[in-house]
Amino acid sequence: MAAFLGVDRSLTGRMWVGPSVEQDRLAEALAQATRLPGPLCHTLVRRGVTAETCEAFLAPTLRELLPDPRTLKDMSTAAARVLAAVERRERIAVFADYDVDGGSSAALLLTWLRQVGRGATLYVPDRIDEGYGPNPPAMRQLAARHDLIVCVDCGTLSHEAIAAATDADVVVLDHHLGGETLPPALAVVNPNRQDESGDLAHLCAAAVVFLLLVEVNRLMREGGSAGPDLMALLDLVALATVADVAPLVGVNRALVRAGLQIMARRERPGLRALADVAGMKEAPRAYHLGYMLGPRINAGGRIGQADFGARLLATDDPAEAQALAERLDQLNHERREIEARVSEEAMAQAEARGLDGPLVWAAGEGWHPGVVGIVASRMKEATNRPSVVIGLADGEGKGSGRSISGVDLGASIQRVAQEGLLIKGGGHKMAAGLTVAADLLEPAMERLSELLEKQGAGTGGPRDLTLDGLLMPGAANIELIERIEAAGPFGAAAPAPRFALPDVEILHVRRVGENHLKVSFGDGLGARMDAIAFSCFDTPLGERLSSHGGARFHLAGRLEINEWNGRRSPQLRLEDAAPA
């Protein structure tokens, strides 16, 4: 495979890979048929969009894409039971996972229940003391005081814990990979049950909860009463979908697009307060959900109080929202400090072990279990390999893993657990968790590596940068960027398009903070553009561009609109460069 623009080793050590001849041909044909800009057509072709499907893809609607909730097994039973609990004024408890998806799922239910005049008890387990998912003591205590327990973003593998809830009905609303048998719940609604078709396997738990509420509202209409406005809840669904790295395909695209529009209204006190403390000054995009709001919500479950995130998202009290948002922001700063130390140690260990295999992993005594998932994500991004990071304590390791596109990590970890090399483990395709005895750590990781290799992990180049084509600075205007944004939102399974801007001259550079660089560049014909390169001094990119000495470069990155003091201008999110 020939390197794009001849760049077989960029300043960050990557080979650039451009569109194939076939993709170029299809993009040109799509541009002729639709009269859409060429760069947008390259993006659409990568998504498999044709001239016939183009219009629907660029304007996805929930009316067209939202599935009938009843296609999910146990949905009718679950919806009827929730509605009965509301009508009979029963005591309801919501047992939620401690991450963004769990918090959003809980907030969806709590908000909906409040709007129909009912309350519920929120229970979020402590990550360190209780671990992930329902546990027997907690479920027994909840069942003794409630008539219905709804487990969100957890519960599919919790046979013993759900069996312990003998005095209450249990409904599970989840998306994690199911086992061969289901727990003894009244209903288990999960698109990743073994007996499901898999057509909705890409949904996060909050989307499953949303479908349940759609069905409950339908039942209410049949009974002659109107349910709450569900569209107003889509900001929570969008947040969970992006933060949980669910693929932004199919109905997920429509959910996130609609949710971003709702979020832009700033009507939810918790999200409004969190956006303010995070310094969000522009309309929300998927980037903000994944990198600014999500980490702060997660911080409570990682190193603070587990229920902070769910409480923030569910509250209708602006004062409580402000206090929770400020506390979560503080916890997020503390989380970053812990993460930085663990990340440095984990990467050094992984490099010593080797980064060329199908699995990159590291384990360390005392590593905080609240940050191992983030560190695994960093390692995955750096190596283009599935990655697992494990914190060891008292002869046992608790870890998290992150995967790459096309490799189902959750299924492989679940298989290793079934074979007895893990105490427990599971998750979904892109993210999973595990618990392992310290003396079985090496054989467990070796077996996991074997299973991932069979799925093709380890065959891709760790340093390849995929580009959608060439673009000249003069063509990168706001109109084009807005047209390209219509192909979004971008995220998991739908990466933002990257373009190469060839043979440009560096006009001005300025270091921003400790590790970032602002760059102005031009094509030598009068067109100029600004770029921002984040964390670029971690690689040779920052120093080389800072001391360019008049040399010309090929630049690569993503297009975005910079909004500052009411002014909007095109900007390149600079990710790589190579001498021209």
Question: Tens digit of pLDDT per residue, the chain (580 long)?
Answer: 689 999 999 999 889 999 999 999 999 999 999 999 999 999 999 999 999 999 999 999 999 999 999 999 999 999 999 999 999 999 999 999 999 999 999 999 999 999 999 999 999 999 888 988 999 999 999 999 999 999 999 999 999 999 999 999 999 999 999 999 999 999 999 999 999 999 999 999 999 999 999 999 999 999 999 999 999 999 999 999 999 989 999 999 999 999 999 999 999 999 999 999 999 988 899 999 999 999 999 999 998 899 999 999 999 999 999 999 999 999 999 999 999 999 999 999 999 999 989 999 999 999 999 999 999 999 998 888 999 999 999 999 999 999 998 899 999 999 999 999 999 999 889 899 999 999 999 999 999 999 999 998 887 655 689 999 999 999 999 999 999 999 999 998 899 999 999 999 999 999 998 899 999 999 988 999 999 999 899 889 999 999 999 999 999 999 999 988 878 999 999 999 999 9
Predicted local distance difference test score (pLDDT) of residue 527: 93
Predicted local distance difference test score (pLDDT) of residue 37: 96
Angle between helices 205-222 and 234-243 (to 10 degrees): 160
Predicted local distance difference test score (pLDDT) of residue 462: 54
Q: What are the start-end ranges of the H helices in 99-226?
A: 100-115, 136-145, 159-163, 205-222
Going by their DSSP bridges, the two strands 148-152 and 92-96 should be labelled as parallel
Q: What separation in angstroms does the CA of 248 have from each of 140, 199, 410?
A: 38, 14, 19
Measure the CA–CA gap between 194 and 540, rounded to whole angstroms: 47
User: What letter represents residue 264's amino acid?
Assistant: A
* E strand or H helix that includes residue 484: helix 478-485
Angle at the Cα of 18 from the Cα atoms of 14 and 19, rounded to 5 degrees: 155
Q: Which two tokens stand for residue 406?
A: 């096309």
From 3.40.1350.10, 3.40.50.300, 1.10.10.10, 2.40.50.460, which CATH number describes the 4-48+467-579 domain?
Answer: 2.40.50.460
Burial of 344 per CB tally in 10 Å (0-12, 13-18, 19+): exposed
Predicted local distance difference test score (pLDDT) of residue 464: 83
Cβ atoms 465, 556 nearer than 8 A: yes
Measure the CA–CA gap between 128 and 125, rounded to whole angstroms: 9
Topology adopted by domain 64-329: inorganic pyrophosphatase (n-terminal core) (3.90.1640)
Question: Which of 571, 469, 430, 465 lies closest to 44 in space, CA to CA?
Answer: 469
* E strand or H helix that includes residue 355: none
Q: What separation in angstroms does the CA of 151 have from each of 123, 154, 311, 464?
A: 9, 6, 16, 41
Predicted local distance difference test score (pLDDT) of residue 564: 82
The residues, ordered by sequence, that sit 6+ positions from 55 with a Cβ below 8 Å of its Cβ are none
The residue assigned the tokens 């660029």 is 58
Measure the CA–CA gap between 366 and 257, rounded to whole angstroms: 41
Predicted local distance difference test score (pLDDT) of residue 463: 65
What letters, b where the CB count within 10 A reaches 16 and e where it falls short, cover 554-579? Answer: bbbbbbbbbeeeeeeebbbbbbbbbe
Per-domain boundaries in the chain: 4-48+467-579, 64-329, 354-454
Predicted local distance difference test score (pLDDT) of residue 505: 96
Cis peptide before 183 (omega within 30 of 0): no
**Is 3.50.50.60 the CATH classification of the domain at 354-454?**
no
Predicted local distance difference test score (pLDDT) of residue 461: 59
Question: Which of 211, 209, 208, 181 lies closest to 194 in space, CA to CA?
Answer: 181
Predicted local distance difference test score (pLDDT) of residue 381: 87
Angle at the Cα of 382 from the Cα atoms of 379 and 385, rounded to 5 degrees: 70
Cross-strand pairs, 16: 465
Measure the CA–CA gap between 125 and 335, rounded to whole angstroms: 19
Q: What are the start-end ranges of the H helices in 304-426?
A: 308-314, 318-353, 372-383, 409-418
Predicted local distance difference test score (pLDDT) of residue 20: 94
The residues, ordered by sequence, that sit 6+ positions from 5 with a Cβ below 8 Å of its Cβ are 16, 18, 470, 500, 502, 554, 578
